[in-house]
Amino acid sequence: MAEQQELLTVATAMLDKAYTPYSHFHVGAAAVGASGKIYGGCNIENASFGATNCAERTAIFSGIAAGETHFTALLVTGNTDGPIAPCGICRQVIAEFFDADAPIYLTNQKGAFTATTVAAILPGAFTDLN
Ligand code: THU
């Protein structure tokens, strides 16, 4: 199976795991660790809305917790009309753990598929404390 199709399958399965009692908006993501393993993620909301974790960050953080330190590709999906767009916080987290030219796949559940890159979704990312 092509990597993109496998990522879409994992991310789509994550839609059912989303914890969304406030927005009822389910998001699924899948991130490929440097080891080649794929990590799924869903959005997890909170009564204190700012504590919500997006699907992209859940996938990345699950990989980090499993021992990954770097990722090579990420796919996100949702029940949107067009390809879903990651939020600004997720773009910054993606920039931390992916190369600038790593592929980011923005999809929906109706067949939309846009391939972009980390650099394209967050130009001028803050990456260096020095
Ligand atoms: N959300 C994601 O999980 N990823 C995105 O790319 C956009 C937004 C979630 C956060 C919240 O649970 C809900 O979607 C509405 O913002």
pTM above 0.85, yes or no: yes
- Ligand 1: residue of 27, 44, 108, 121 to mutate (most ligand atoms within 8 A of CB) is 27
Per-residue pLDDT of the chain (130 residues; tens, 9 = 90+): 699 999 999 999 999 999 999 999 999 999 999 999 999 999 999 999 999 999 999 999 999 999 999 999 999 999 999 999 999 999 999 999 999 999 999 999 999 999 999 999 999 888 877 6
User: What values do phi and psi take at 113, rounded to 5?
Assistant: -150, 115
Residue 77 maps to a domain: yes
Residue 128 maps to a domain: no
Expressed as residue numbers, the domain containing 5 is 1-120
Overall number of domains in the chain? 1
Question: Which is nearest to 110 in space by CA: 10, 4, 12?
Answer: 12
Between the CA of 57 and the centroid of ligand 1 the distance, in Å, is 10
Residue 113 maps to a domain: yes
Any idea how long the chain is? 130
Indicate which CATH number applies to the domain containing 88. Answer: 3.40.140.10
**Residue 42 in marked binding region:** no
